Structure 1
Amino acid sequence: MKKKLYTASLLLLILFQWSCSDFLEQEPGSQISIKEQLSTRKGMLEAVVGMYSLVEENTRFENYAVYGDLNGGNIKFTPNLPSAQVEVVSKIQEIYNFNDKARESNLEIFYKNAYRIITAANLLIENVENTPFFTIVEQDQIYAEALSVRAYTHFLLLQVYAQNTNFSEAEKLGIVYKTETLQEELKYAPRLSLAESYVAIVNDLQKSLDLFSDTPILEGPEYSYFREVSVKALLARVQLAQEDYPSALENAKSVIENSGVVLTSKQEYISSWKQPLQPIPEILLEFSVSVDSDGNLSGSKSAIYGYTSNTKYANYAASQDLLNLYTENDIRGDLFLEQQLPTLENNETVNKPYYFTHKFQGNPGNPVFRLSEMYLIAAEAAAQLNENSTALNYLNAIRERAGLTSLTNNNNLKEEIFLEYRRELAFENKLFFDIKRLGKNVTRNDGCISTSCNLNYPSPFFVLPIPQETININTNLIQNEGY
């Protein structure tokens, strides 16, 4: 089920040679190397796969991949071996404590690699028209996928480094939006405003929709790459954050009604997550992990959330805060693997239960959008527009599939939708971003060993600092408040 692996090492080497900071810097001979790489059909396809490989690796990077659930309160730490002591994983300590540092940010690598991905996308965009070995339709397909990756990666940066739309006017900074690679003036570009950043993302996505064809340029399952349906799913999520509720509702409904994908049934829901090496059937976009010629995987989210034995397990398990949200009738309670692990408490080692998610035990792919999320986006957008009966219909589709009774009134409807996000999308790195987007407080109870377990909205610490190395290079950048 994984996409065919092309050798992308040359593209990656060029990008790392070119990019000694987050802003592209030319080096002698590098332009010639890129032209050589992109001068053949094989080289161009390698570059497209290389772009997707960078995206997959960056979104699976542990410090980023756990950020939404850890800082939102869905997960806690498991005991270390052999000490049995529960401690903060050192590499994410500062973001967990809401105390990240600009000079040594826990997500500095994520930030840098995001702009390398954007550079890879821009290189394809700038060179795809000069490819006589592709048809016009194939050129448009590559252009559309590169635009989508560029928009998606900028959106991830916006979620991490910019406040939500309701934050104070003085601090509504967005991100640097890079649309070209070689122009000198782009080297030290300032951050756009939050509103301008959203406009740039939406413009790229809408432009891509006019270019997609029915024939993917790469081999493998269509859900492994951006296509029209996954771009509309991304648009729905972006427009929800933008508070463009009519457009978010329209795009979410379009995906639900026209994608050809249906909600995974209640009977198959749990078993689908447990199916090895296969995504859940309702997947809209999943970044597949590369495999080599011997079938070995380059990595897996099971390294972050997996359990193999009492001497081999990952650093994170579900918090009781999350588990308490599933009632007895909720089939999603069966998505947790309970294991007794030796844990040091009061200088004594005792066995305590820890609950590992089944979502990534056998499936190494990186799910980005599922149809379930489109139902919840449609429900929230409709509720924001006071179309409560529509909101209830979409929300109840997810509740009923989970074995819960349908809601029949509008009492606390928006809160019920939020709780359904939390239950349905747990471990998919979205909770903290939803909390920030909705202007809620963070409350972490079970297993919290942070110096700051709670975070009240509004706060500067709902965003992370721009890495200081980038600020030093680009003096036009304004650092986030509090850093």
Structure 2
Amino acid sequence: MKKIVYSILPAVLLLTSSCQQFLDVQPDLQVDQSQAITNASTAEAAVNGMYNRLGNDSYYGSNFPALSYLSGGDINWTGSQTAPQEIFARRVTSTNGYVGSAWAAIYQTILAANYLLETVPNLSDPQLTADRKNQILGEAYAMRALSYFDLARGWGGVQLILKATYAPTDNTGIPRSSLTDTYAQVLKDLTTAEPLLSNTTNRNRFTRKTVWALRARYHLYRQEWEQAESYATKLIDDTNYKLVSPYSAFFANNAVATTESVFEIAYSNSFKNGHYNWWLPPALSGRREWAPNDALVKSLNDATVGGNRKELIAQTAAPGNLWYGKLYYRNPLGTDPAYVIRIAELYLIRAEARAQLGKTTLALADLNAVRSRAAVPASTAATKEALLTAISDERRVEFPFETDRWFDLVRTGRVATVLGISDTRKYVFPIPNSELLADKALTQNEGY
């Protein structure tokens, strides 16, 4: 998809500057780039288009989280389609549709960011003030950082496309960067974004605070414990972010943008979140092709493990008695948020960083803050090793239907222990075969 002439979102770029109207349009069509971003109105529409890319069904709206759900060992695939079945069985190939569509969607998001970064500084429009330009540029840098972070944790080192794409031949012939260099680009973009962004609280758009949260996660993955602790603390100490109680309060009763949420993607009737279709049973107008397995159901229903997180699951009536996930449940269907990062994760990031730094008492306090909200007994883990195991176990039941479990097991080196997968080459996904055919400079991950 990097080689295809980049598409900035259809008619709304040309017809309206309304954020809400634009968010109600799925990004599908291609427009003349020379006319796409020419003033404040079209710039604002393009920013909204960039967020639509992030929320697309192939990215956070469905397929990218599914790569983690179905790989992580707690979710069963109950359908008959080949692509998700391969992921669930851990027999992924380079022609897998979910892998290919997620890869393409992430690069489309990067291309949207690149186009804003290239065009916005040169716009002359009285309505596009210097501060507004900075905010747009900061959002684009932050979006590119998140996108490359997801590529890095999913595929390893990738091609770093840092310029806008106008023609099929643009940005071809670029070799893959190392994993270290890919992560370095993530940090560079986050660092660049931070001073450009407003220091406000917005749960659906990038702000300086969102960057701090993403930096905490980034430093955790890079095992830079002091920085992970420091950036997590910035969010935890901000009174705009709090663990809501009970656990279900951040999603039940059509709740959106609660103090629990640091960054969530908003959807609407015409820009839908595809998760519901896979989680809900047919009686609730879904297909229930992703379902919690027996072990996860047992854990969530255990008062000492899941506590009030049991509200994440429900069971159909007899004779089926089928367990299903109900994080994505809303009516109208598909209007559920997609949760990119919550304050609970910041607590557990800080707990893990503090455990690694030998701050066992403080680490335990952070872990128990999350457990207390879930109404489970306080942990008594007293050693670094016990704490790290307890934190990993906590993440499993805290984020079972979010984009976490597989990547969590990979970064902590627990894939072989938990899932029995000893071939480390399978800890990353294959590069899509279509991309290899389109650009000979792109090389496949070893083992595929």
Q: Distance in 2 between matches of 1:95 and 1:300?
A: 18
Change over 3 Å in CA distance of 1:285–1:3 after alignment to 2: farther
Q: Distance in 2 between matches of 1:10 and 1:72?
A: 30
Q: Distance in 1 between matches of 2:36 and 2:110?
A: 17
> Would you say 1:94 and 2:66 are equivalent positions?
no
* Matched residue, 2:138: 144
Change over 3 Å in CA distance of 1:77–1:442 after alignment to 2: farther
Which of the numbers 111, 122, 125 marks the counterpart of 1:119?
111
> Would you say 1:325 and 2:325 are equivalent positions?
no
Shift of residue 287, structure 1, vs aligned partner = 1.0
The correspondence of residues 62-461 of structure 1 with structure 2, limited to 5 A, is 62-78=62-78, 87-133=79-125, 134-162=128-156, 174-181=157-164, 186-214=171-199, 222-258=202-238, 260-266=240-246, 269-276=247-254, 278-291=256-269, 296-307=270-281, 309=283, 312-326=286-300, 327-329=302-304, 330-340=307-317, 351-362=319-330, 364-411=336-383, 412-441=386-415, 454-461=419-426
- On the 8 A contact 1:331/1:403 being kept in 2, the answer is yes
- On the 8 A contact 1:301/1:365 being kept in 2, the answer is no
The farther-off stretch of 132-141 and 455-464 is: 455-464
Q: Distance in 1 between matches of 2:422 and 2:208?
A: 36
The correspondence of residues 25-64 of structure 1 with structure 2, limited to 5 A, is 33-57=32-56, 58-64=58-64
- On the 8 A contact 2:273/2:338 being kept in 1, the answer is no
Instruction: Give 2:272's aligned amino acid.
Output: S
- On the 8 A contact 1:11/1:47 being kept in 2, the answer is no
Please state whether the residue corresponding to 1:405 is helix, strand or coil: coil
Change over 3 Å in CA distance of 1:407–1:182 after alignment to 2: closer
Shift of residue 108, structure 1, vs aligned partner = 0.6
Deviations 1:14-42 (A, max 9, x none): 37xxxxxxxxxxxxxxxxx3232111211
* Matched residue, 1:30: none
Please state whether the residue corresponding to 2:315 is helix, strand or coil: strand
Shift of residue 182, structure 1, vs aligned partner = 5.2
Deviations 1:186-236 (A, max 9, x none): 421111111111111011001100101257xxxxx9211111111111111
The number of aligned residues is 417
Change over 3 Å in CA distance of 1:126–1:275 after alignment to 2: same
Deviations 1:414-439 (A, max 9, x none): 00000000011110021011011111
Deviations 1:428-483 (A, max 9, x none): 02101101111113678xxxxxxxxx442452112111112222232222210111
- On the 8 A contact 1:176/1:189 being kept in 2, the answer is yes
- On the 8 A contact 1:154/1:201 being kept in 2, the answer is yes
Q: Does 1 or 2 have the higher relative contact order (CA < 8 Å, sep 6+)?
A: 1
Please state whether the residue corresponding to 2:198 is helix, strand or coil: coil
Which of the numbers 414, 417, 431 marks the counterpart of 1:466?
431
Shift of residue 369, structure 1, vs aligned partner = 0.7
The correspondence of residues 9-24 of structure 1 with structure 2, limited to 5 A, is 12-14=28-30
Change over 3 Å in CA distance of 1:361–1:12 after alignment to 2: closer
Please state whether the residue corresponding to 2:254 is helix, strand or coil: coil
- On the 8 A contact 1:277/1:364 being kept in 2, the answer is no
Q: What TM-score, normalized to structure 2?
A: 0.86
| Percent of aligned pairs with the same amino acid | 26
* Matched residue, 2:4: none
Q: Whose helix proportion is higher, 1 or 2?
A: 2
Runs of 4+ in structure 1 over 6 Å off: 7-11
Please state whether the residue corresponding to 1:247 is helix, strand or coil: helix
Please state whether the residue corresponding to 2:231 is helix, strand or coil: helix
**RMSD of aligned alpha carbons:** 2.6
- On the 8 A contact 1:63/1:91 being kept in 2, the answer is no
Q: What TM-score, normalized to structure 1?
A: 0.80
- On the 8 A contact 1:5/1:290 being kept in 2, the answer is no
Q: Distance in 2 between matches of 1:123 and 1:315?
A: 37
- On the 8 A contact 1:65/1:429 being kept in 2, the answer is yes
